[in-house]
Every structure is written in structure tokens, then in C-alpha cells.
Amino acid sequence: MEGLIRKMLQESGDDDLRLAAAIESLALRYGDEVYQEALRQLTSKIFPPAAARKHWHLALLHRDRIFPENNRSGRLRAALLDYLHAVTHEIRDPRIVEAQHLETMRQASITDGLTGLYHQTYFKAHLERLLEHRAGTGDRRFAVALLDLDHFKQYNDRCGHLAGDQALRRTAEILQFNLRQGDIACRYGGEEFALLLHRAGQDEAFAVAERIRAAVEETAYPGQELMDRGNLTISAGIAVCPENGASAVDLLALADEELYRAKEQRNSISPPLNGQRREIRHKRLSLVEFTLAPGEPFQPGLSFDISRTGLSFGCSLDQLTAGELLGIRFKQPFWPVTCDLDGWVRHVEKLEENGLVRIGLEFVELPESLRLLLPERPRMATLSSPNRDYPPPAI
């Protein structure tokens, strides 16, 4: 029996359900000694057969209590050790509980199973501890940021929930990559994330959030072209301690309000850096025409996005350089109105994936007709209204 159970443990790997089913099947043939031998091999402790059966079944229930449903695979031994040490006290000396399994158990209990980030409960507890420490020393400044993926429900509906899960994992990786040493990221719920940025004021917090915003915008999430705006983006709201509050409730409430303001425009951060709002770029894949000089024929281009001050578009002409002046024509029915504008070339980039040349253009003048080319901004809902949701996107 010893060799048979050892083989079961080896072959089951992280498949706890397979192991549990195999142990139950073997116990039907050989009795409670199967549980006794399984516990001996897993914990190096020998229990009476009847007690071993009881501990085995209660440890399975303990695993289901301490680990979320999507993060239970491979956790049976960690749960078993925790049950015998913390619940029954059968293992009284924690030194015999293998450190690797204790660490596995600890991490699984404070992290989100899908993304690997800390979960909301741990984040709030850490925030409270940081505030308590600051109250005692008064020398720590930090920031809280709440982030939310824009139009994630639309992405989920059109690309599927598996793609949605992959997008959440990829976004979590982006957060981790762009954090500074000592900063903390958590999955706050659904498609919302939270950051705790140590020794950060408004400028430092904005810089971190902007790196994340830009990285998400440039990430090629599978299927994002099916969305109305063509890609998945993220918005963020920031609150700084002590300037914006000295309690967890106040800081999180203000960060949530700032996130609400950012979600009005989408793909933005609130409050803006130094009070200057970044021009919102509206994704728009449509036909534009451009000319190199007055009187010369217009050539076709494909717009990528447009803002109040400029346009990004792709073309096949690769001789353009920064500083050149172009004429741009927007025509119905591809645009709401027909109008001509001039713009300075500010950026030229060859796109390897499709061979186009991406041109970043700054408009010379901002006529009234330009306003008609942009999506209408949504009206902000009342912040005090009950059960508020984020305002609808500007499309």
C-alpha cells in the first residue's frame, strides 16, 4: 500500500480532485489505513486510522474554505498542514511544516487567483497599517490610485470571457511591470484595480498611472478591434495622503470620484498633472485625404485617432519628415462634415505590422468646424445619485 499511495501522490501532481478520488477508491478496498498512510506520507505524522479518515475529510473542507474556487488546484497539502497546525493543533511545532507549503498557502490566501495580484481585503488592510504607521511618525506621504478598464463589458461580450480573463491577466502584468519597488497592486474587483504608491505625491503617482495608461493603450489585446473604439484602454483616479485625506475611507472615496471623472473622457487620468488636461484622443478608423502642397492632388490615408489639437493617420508615403506642413481633408460620408485643415507633421513612424507610415499631425488652427469632427462629450452624472454607474462612453 505504501508504494501505491506514493505513486498516486506523484501521478496526481497538482490535481487535488484526482488524488482525493483515488484515495477514496483505495479506502473502499483497504479501509481507513489508506488515510493513515496518505497522511503519513504528506505530513510525516502517524494518526490512528479512524482519526486519519476524519482529518483527511475535514482538511478537504478546510481547503475549500481558505482558498477561492478558482485557486484551489494543488493546494491540498498546504490546506492539510494548516488544518493540522492551526485548527486541530496536531502539529504543534510550526518548524516541521515545510516553509514552501506555508508560503504557498499564505500567498494564495491574500492574492487573486486569476491575476496573481493582491485582493481587495489585503489591500485595504495594508492601507490601514500604513496609515497607522504614518500617524505615529508623520513622515510618510503616499498615494492611492484606482484604475478601471474602459468598455470592458463590451470587450467581454464581443470577444468572450476567456479573452476577458486573458486581458485581465495581461493588464495585471502591465501594472506589475510599471510599479516602483515597494509599490502594491491589487485586483479591486471585476475589471478594477488599485495601487498603493509609497512615498509618492501627485506628480509621482501621475507618472506611474500614465505609464500604465500608455502601456495598456499600446497593448494588442486579442479581438479588441471588435470594440467600437478599436482598442481596450484604462482610466485612473488618484488621491494623495495627507493632502486629500488621512483615512482609508476618505482616500478611497476621493480616488473613486477622480476615477469617475476620468471615466467621463476614457483613457485618461484624474486629476490631471499640474491642472493641465491631456487632450483626449478619440479612436476613429476612417478615410482622410492629405496633400503635400496647395494645388497638388490629394492622397488617401487612414485615420487612427483625432483630438482637439491633432490627428494620427497612416499612409503609404514614407518620404515625410517632421516639420512639414500638410493639408488634410475630411469628407462626408466618412466624417460628420466636409472640411479642410492644415497641420504640422510632428511624428513619423513606420508600422512594421502593416507597412503603413504613421503620421502624427498638429493642427495649425482650430476652427469651429473641428468641433463637429469630434465625438460629443457625455454629460457627467450626479455623483450623489444612488447606485451610480460610470457615464456612458462618448461615441
Of 77, 119, 69, 115, give the one whose Cα is nearest residue 98. Answer: 77
pLDDT exceeds cutoff 90 at 88: no
pLDDT band at 390 (very low <50, low <70, confident <90, very high): very low
Instruction: Provide mean pLDDT across the span 287-315.
Output: 90
Quick one: pLDDT at residue 372? 81
When pLDDT is averaged across residues 278-291 and rounded to a whole number, the result is 81
> Higher model confidence: residue 64 or residue 52?
52
Lowest-confidence region among 145-149, 179-183, 238-242: 179-183
Report the DSSP beta bridge partners of residue 327: 291, 342
User: Could you give the count of Cα atoms lying within 13 Å of 339 in the half-sphere of its Cβ?
Assistant: 16
- Whole-number pLDDT of residue 244: 87
Q: What percent of the chain has pLDDT over 70?
A: 85
What average pLDDT score do residues 101-114 get? 64
Mean pLDDT in residue range 323-332: 92
Please state whether the predicted TM-score (pTM) of the whole model is above 0.85. no
Specify the pLDDT at position 379: 35
pLDDT of residue 303: 92
Nearest to 104 by CA among 122, 85, 77, 84: 77
Indicate if the pLDDT at residue 170 is higher than 80.
yes
Inter-residue contact 380 to 264 (CB < 8 Å): yes
**pLDDT tens sequence across 55-82:** 998 988 888 777 766 665 667 777 887 7
Position 213 confidence tier, pLDDT thresholds 50, 70, 90? very high
> Could you read off the pLDDT of 112-152 as tens digits, one per residue?
888 989 999 889 988 998 888 777 666 578 999 999 999 99
* Percent with pLDDT over 90 in the chain: 38
Distance between CA atoms of residues 202 and 197, nearest Å: 10
What is the C-alpha to C-alpha distance for residues 91 and 223, in angstroms, rounded to an integer? 51
Residue position matching grid coordinates 494548516 = 82
- Considering only residues 179 and 100, tell me which one the structure prediction assigns the higher pLDDT: 179
Cell of 287: 478615410
- Rounded mean pLDDT of 295-315? 90
191 is catalytic: yes
Whether 97 has a pLDDT exceeding 60, the answer reads no
Evaluate if residue 388 carries a pLDDT over 50: no
Query: Which of these is catalytic: 2, 90, 173, 191?
Result: 191
Supply the pLDDT for residue 108.
56
Residue 83 pLDDT class (50, 70, 90 cuts): confident
> Of residues 280 and 252, which shows the higher confidence score?
252
Which residues contact residue 219 at a Cβ distance below 8 angstroms, ignoring those fewer than 6 apart?
Answer: 170, 174, 232
* Least confidently predicted of 18-32, 41-55, 274-288: 274-288
Q: Residues, the chain, total? A: 395
Domains and CATH numbers, the chain: 2-110 (no CATH), 118-275 (3.30.70.270), 282-371 (2.40.10.220)
Please tell me which residue, 26 or 135, carries the higher pLDDT value.
Answer: 26
